[in-house]
Structure 1
Amino acid sequence: MFLENTINPKKKKGWIEVICGSMFSGKTEELIRRLKRAKIAKQKVEIFKPEIDTRYDEIAVVSHDYNQIHSTPVPASANIPLLINDEDVVGIDEAQFFDMGLVAVCNQLANNGIRVIVAGLDMDYTGKPFGPIPALLATAEYVTKVHAICVNCGNLANHSHRITDNNKLVMLGETDSYQPLCRDCFTLENNFKNKKE
């Protein structure tokens, strides 16, 4: 006796894509590019960002070079499923600022046949894994790590070095507060900072 295939061929297949890297590496730019392509394909798209991210715009997701796409700011990951209406694609920017519940939300959306595209910092300014991104990297089908250019030596940069004295984990900022550094330059800067303290 043959077992019947229980997979519904008409059911949409969902998955998770994560775009990660340091600041100034093009994460948001890549997220916007993928979402705009989905819109061109006439797919239903919804984009979310954390309410606290108001650097360039209260509503839109905006890259450092001012490319933008309309989004819905939310205070917590639990709000995202409540705002979904038969979308094909869901984009989430600045995912590192969301709570750990974001991992379950993304998996729930993917299990329901939605393509989920998440962008965020994989490390904080101290070089440690940041928020829900490491767990999302573990469960995602597709991972894209993008790099900036080290401002000290010109090599590929994967660290977001904070150049202010603020020690808060979450601090929104631009080139006045952060600079991209490679591993070696990041280590040298931190060793120098630790000697001064």
Structure 2
Amino acid sequence: MIHPGGILEVITGPMFAGKTSELIKRIERQAYAKKKVALFKPSIDDRYSREEVVAHNGLRYRAYVVPTSNEGVEEIARLVRRGRFDVVGVDEVQFFPAKIVKTLNNLADSGIYVIASGLNLDFKAEPFPVMRELLVRADNVVYLTAVCTVCGRPATRSQRLIDGKPAPRDSPVILVGGRESYEARCRLHHEVP
């Protein structure tokens, strides 16, 4: 049975667009409205904190930390059922396996307000498969842009850097990092040698 209160919302864009800040803002708003909220983050993202989702600007919120595996996705579903949460947020959703799509969709179908935040494209400007699937199933999509570090125009891509130079195409797709490894770039200034 589909509950009228369920919704799947996806926040996406490149690095430094404010996706995590927007996710935390929405979670805090729901907590303020006395909704029971839960925020989840992948265990591989320990950049600023192990127990909190932390935005690049320092905004933070306590989170459940789960592995980026099918078992981690099952743990999310189990914790949500046990906690009877009204609102569920997942940060860095692109790091989870494909099973996350069905799980989040099922949670929304069961009446939960689900907010998933993640990168639209990898450093090669290729879509993350999980994001592609979530975006087409979302009831609402919030697409954020950053500012290109080269020209100041709207940036839609994440430029990976190695020693200050664009990372080659054969670099690993997953590299958790911040300003030391990435810049926001527009289409014109994004490079993948």
TM-score (norm 1): 0.88
Q: Please give the alpha-carbon distance, in whole angstroms, between the structure 2 residues aligned to 1:12 and 1:78.
A: 24
Q: Please give the alpha-carbon distance, in whole angstroms, between the structure 2 residues aligned to 1:185 and 1:143.
A: 25
Which amino acid in the other structure matches residue 55 of structure 1?
R
Residue 25 of structure 1 is matched in structure 2 by 17
Q: Please give the alpha-carbon distance, in whole angstroms, between the structure 2 residues aligned to 1:12 and 1:46.
A: 20
Residue 81 of structure 1 is matched in structure 2 by 77
Residue 178 of structure 1 is matched in structure 2 by 182
Larger Rg: 1
Residue 3 of structure 1 is matched in structure 2 by none
Residue 41 of structure 1 is matched in structure 2 by 33
Contact conserved, 1:162 with 1:179, CA < 8 A, in 2?
yes
Contact conserved, 1:147 with 1:156, CA < 8 A, in 2?
yes
Q: Please give the alpha-carbon distance, in whole angstroms, between the structure 2 residues aligned to 1:78 and 1:127.
A: 29
Residue 12 of structure 1: CA displacement?
5.1
Residue in structure 1 matching 2:116, options 115, 118, 130: 118
Distance 1:57 1:131, change over 3 A: farther
Name the SS for the 1:49 alignment partner: strand
Runs of at least 5 residues in structure 1 that lack an aligned partner in the other structure: 1-6
Residue 120 of structure 1: CA displacement?
0.2
Q: How much identity, in percent, do the aligned residues show?
A: 40
Which amino acid in the other structure matches residue 18 of structure 2?
G
Residue 131 of structure 1: CA displacement?
3.7
TM-score (norm 2): 0.90
Residue in structure 1 matching 2:50, options 58, 62, 78: 58
Contact conserved, 1:18 with 1:144, CA < 8 A, in 2?
yes
**Post-superposition, which runs of at least 4 consecutive aligned residues in structure 1 deviate over 2 A?**
none
Q: Deviations over 1:128-165 (max 9, x none)?
A: 01141110000000000001000000000010000114
Name the SS for the 2:188 alignment partner: helix
Q: Deviations over 1:98-142 (max 9, x none)?
A: 111010010110011000000000100000011411100000000
Residue 4 of structure 1 is matched in structure 2 by none
Runs of at least 5 residues in structure 2 that lack an aligned partner in the other structure: none
How many residue pairs were aligned?
181
Q: Please give the alpha-carbon distance, in whole angstroms, between the structure 2 residues aligned to 1:12 and 1:81.
A: 20
Contact conserved, 1:99 with 1:131, CA < 8 A, in 2?
no
Residue 182 of structure 1: CA displacement?
0.3
